[in-house]
Amino acid sequence: MNITLKNIGRRFNRDWIFRGVNHTFTTGQSYAILGPNGSGKSTLLQVLNGSLAPSEGTIDFTFDDKPVEIDKVFTHLSLAAPYLEVIEEFTLSEMIDFHFKFKNYKPGVDKKEVINLLNLPKSENKLIKYFSSGMKQRLKLILAFCADTPMLMLDEPTSNLDIQGVDWYLNLVQQFAAGRLTIVCSNQEQEYSFCNHRLNIVDYK
């Protein structure tokens, strides 16, 4: 999956969040979108995943050298972010089943393996509403990593994770990010240290 931005800008009311972004995101590569809190990292990520239209410029998506329509981009994408909701009335088992009605498992992964990777073997029938904030963040991450999509987008991926949770996240990156277009929005180096490209949103103010 490739994403090409040409003179992309986004504003809210009269205030420009960023302007003049020219960049190509290429399959198999990992990118960090950097900047302080409130600088527009998440806004740019929403433009990149097709959920927010740019105010100026053009964005093109291609998969296997074929164009992808903007309303089909979500089928190629897995996203984990603190602002995404999980269905609190579901059990862990039900949440996994629901998610993978819309996405395929990566080869070699099934529900049992997802639960094993979460390190929550006794929580299969526990309601999500009783999960801690860290457990919910782990769940969002594992669903994104284990879905068979060419794009992986992570916004502040270690939010609410402790030191062991950060190590767990980095192990998932090694296992499941290879070969995908991976984009991480962050201002914490531990979250994006593996990324081989950096884009600072401040450069486009």
Q: What is the DSSP string of 30-50?
A: EEEEE--TTSSHHHHHHHHTT
Return the pLDDT at 122.
87
Please provide the size of the chain in residues. 205
Return the pLDDT at 205.
87
Helices 133-146 & 111-118, crossing angle to 10 degrees?
140
Find the mean pLDDT for residues 131-135. Answer: 94
Q: pLDDT averaged over the chain? A: 95
Q: Which domain holds residue 56?
A: 2-204
Q: Where are the alpha helices (DSSP H) in 40-154?
A: 41-48, 92-99, 111-118, 133-146
Return the pLDDT at 180.
96
Q: How confident is the model at residue 160 (pLDDT cuts 50, 70, 90)?
A: very high
Return the pLDDT at 54.
96
User: Which residue's structure tokens are 């329509």?
Assistant: 69
The pair of three-digit structure tokens given for residue 61, joined into one six-digit string: 């998506």
Q: How confident is the model at residue 29 (pLDDT cuts 50, 70, 90)?
A: very high
Cα 160 from chain centroid? 16
Distances, alpha carbon 160 to alpha carbons 17, 139, 172, 205, in Å: 27, 12, 17, 29
User: Domains in the chain: how many in total?
Assistant: 1
Q: How confident is the model at residue 203 (pLDDT cuts 50, 70, 90)?
A: very high
Return the pLDDT at 121.
81
Q: What is the pLDDT of residues 65-123, one digit of tens each?
A: 999 999 999 999 999 998 899 999 999 999 999 999 999 999 999 999 999 999 888 89
Instruction: Write the CATH number for 159.
Output: 3.40.50.300
